[in-house]
Amino acid sequence: MNIRIGNGYDIHRLVEGRPLILAGIEIEHTLGLLGHSDADVLTHAIMDAMLGALSLGDIGLYFPPSDQQWAGADSLMLLQQVHQMISERGWRIGNIDSVVVAERPKLKPHIAAMRDRLAQVLKIAPEQIGIKATTNEKLGPVGREEGIAAYAVTLLER
Ligand code: MG
């Protein structure tokens, strides 16, 4: 088998006094995401998709919130480690597609920078990374701006 597919999901709570970081890009907003690491919800969903593609479990297994080592961690560094895990096993990324679900702020102006940043870390072309943004039409916790969620799918090849 020379291709594998994986999917990932994550959600983090929005609170005051935290930066909003998505795909390693700090986005100006009145609220930020709460979490043990930098709470980069999109990067977390992508890491889980990559791990899932190879049935390697999830990020909680490798970077447990109980471990002080990961407090405030830059999620792009964790992404680099997950990328190394798949590379060591002989796999490379075919493409990634993702969706960020956020009522606010408008993410469209930031998407190019987010793709570029992830592409740089994963050593692939920005064209191999899809990032879409949608609102939740004011429905549920994401619609009430209590949090931001992200979904990701990845195809690995060798
Ligand atoms: Mg997370």
With 0.85 as the threshold, say if the pTM is over it.
yes
14 touches 104 (CB < 8 A): no
Residue 44 has pLDDT above 90, yes or no: yes
Residue 70 has pLDDT above 80, yes or no: yes
Q: What's residue 128's pLDDT?
A: 98
Q: How confident is the model at residue 135 (pLDDT cuts 50, 70, 90)?
A: very high
Identify which of 142, 118, 139 has the alpha carbon closest to the alpha carbon of residue 130: 118
**What percentage of the chain has pLDDT greater than the value 90?**
93
DSSP code per residue over 119-155: HHHHTS-GGGEEEEEE--TT-HHHHTTSEEEEEEEEE
- How far is ligand 1, taken at its centre, from the CA of residue 80, in Å? 16
Match 């990634």 to its residue by tokens. 96
Match 């890491």 to its residue by tokens. 47
Q: What's residue 15's pLDDT?
A: 98
Max Cα-Cα span within the chain? 47
- How far is ligand 1, taken at its centre, from the CA of residue 37, in Å? 8
For the chain, domain boundaries: 3-63+71-157
Residue 56 has pLDDT above 90, yes or no: yes
Instruction: Report, as an integer, the average pLDDT of 37-66.
Output: 96
Class of domain 3-63+71-157 as given by CATH:
alpha beta
- How far is ligand 1, taken at its centre, from the CA of residue 79, in Å? 12
- How far is ligand 1, taken at its centre, from the CA of residue 36, in Å? 8
The amino acid at 37: S
Q: How confident is the model at residue 72 (pLDDT cuts 50, 70, 90)?
A: confident
Identify which of 36, 86, 34, 32 has the alpha carbon closest to the alpha carbon of residue 57: 86
- DSSP state for residue 18 in the 8-state scheme: S
Which pLDDT tens digit goes with each residue over 101-122? 999 999 999 999 999 999 999 9
